A and B are shown apart, each in its own frame.
Chain A
Amino acid sequence: MEKRTVAGALAFSIVVVFFLFSIFLLHPFGKPGQVQMDDYIITHTQNETGTNNGVTSVVFDYRGFDTLGEATILFSAVAGVLLLFRRVRH
């Protein structure tokens, strides 16, 4: 048997074992573990951010810094593509 096949089978079995462990370690359906932050956001979203959409209030207000990171990723992607293909233009 080739070495690549053995290495692939080994890596696949390791991944499968970890997936099975993580499946059995999940919390039961309908019973989330820590709900304090969920309850706080659901209760206070309309008063604090004035928004009916809780997801948008999390994305742009409570976790605005994450959105800044996403925007930075998109900006760097655009900068990289324009830098890479700039010689194409006549």
Chain B
Amino acid sequence: MTKIVKTTANILFPFTMIFGLYVIAHGHLTPGGGFQGGAIVASGCALLLVAYGSPWVFDHIKDKRLATFESLGAIGFITIGLLGLIFGAVFFGNFLAGSGSLFGTTPATGSTLADFNTGGVLPLMNFAVGVKVIAGLFVIILVMAYASSIKEWS
């Protein structure tokens, strides 16, 4: 693409990253969550793909590594659910809520100021789903863009 598009993408890319990661990290406090923040970050990566072209991105980020991150997110999500089965009562049980340890603070009832250290397993699940959605959406866009950019299908 032209220099204008590249410069605009260079400016917008870090802000998109920070906003998406903020949405993921504050998923238990503000609107949004793992899926939404992951979609924002993946769209930022798609902006990079549009500006620099898929062969350039393919040289720097391997799709196998992205697929590995996607699988890691899925494994982490299911592992947290199974930990709920072991330590709590049920599958996907929130065994960290109210325990006083990591993310274990219980907020006061009613409209209160947001405390980051709340939510039990929800921030961990948000993180796992966020990693999964970032890697999954980006690898879909990347592989399909690369496939449409080359002439010969070997």
Give complex CA distance A52, B150 in Å. Answer: 49
Which residues of chain A from 14 to 59 have any CB-CB distance to chain B below 8 Å in the complex? 46-53, 55-57, 59
Indicate if B129 sits at the interface (CB-CB under 8 A): yes
In the assembled complex, the CB of A49 is this many whole angstroms from the nearest CB of chain B, namely 5
Inter-chain contact A78/B126, CB cutoff 8 Å: no
Inter-chain contact B154/A51, CB cutoff 8 Å: no
In the assembled complex, the CB of B22 is this many whole angstroms from the nearest CB of chain A, namely 14
- Total count of chain A residues near the partner, CB < 8 A: 31
In the assembled complex, the CB of B58 is this many whole angstroms from the nearest CB of chain A, namely 9
In the assembled complex, the CB of A47 is this many whole angstroms from the nearest CB of chain B, namely 7
Chain B: interface size category: 35 or more
Q: Given contacts A70-B35, A82-B139, is CB(A88)–CB(B146) below 8 Å?
A: yes
Give complex CA distance A52, B120 in Å. Answer: 12
In the assembled complex, the CB of A56 is this many whole angstroms from the nearest CB of chain B, namely 5
Give complex CA distance A3, B29 in Å. Answer: 56
Indicate if A9 sits at the interface (CB-CB under 8 A): no
- Report chain A residues within 8 Å CB of B129: 67, 71
Inter-chain contact B150/A46, CB cutoff 8 Å: no
- The chain B residue sitting closest to A57, CB to CB, is B122
Contact with B along A62-88 (1 / 0, CB 8 A): 001101101100110110011001011
Give complex CA distance A60, B24 in Å. Answer: 13
Inter-chain contact B139/A56, CB cutoff 8 Å: no
Q: Which residues does A use to contact B, with CB under 8 Å?
A: 46-53, 55-57, 59-61, 64-65, 67-68, 70-71, 74-75, 77-78, 81-82, 85, 87-90
13 A-B pairs with C-beta separation under 8 A: A46-B106, A47-B98, A50-B97, A50-B107, A50-B119, A60-B92, A60-B126, A64-B91, A70-B35, A81-B140, A85-B144, A88-B147, A89-B63
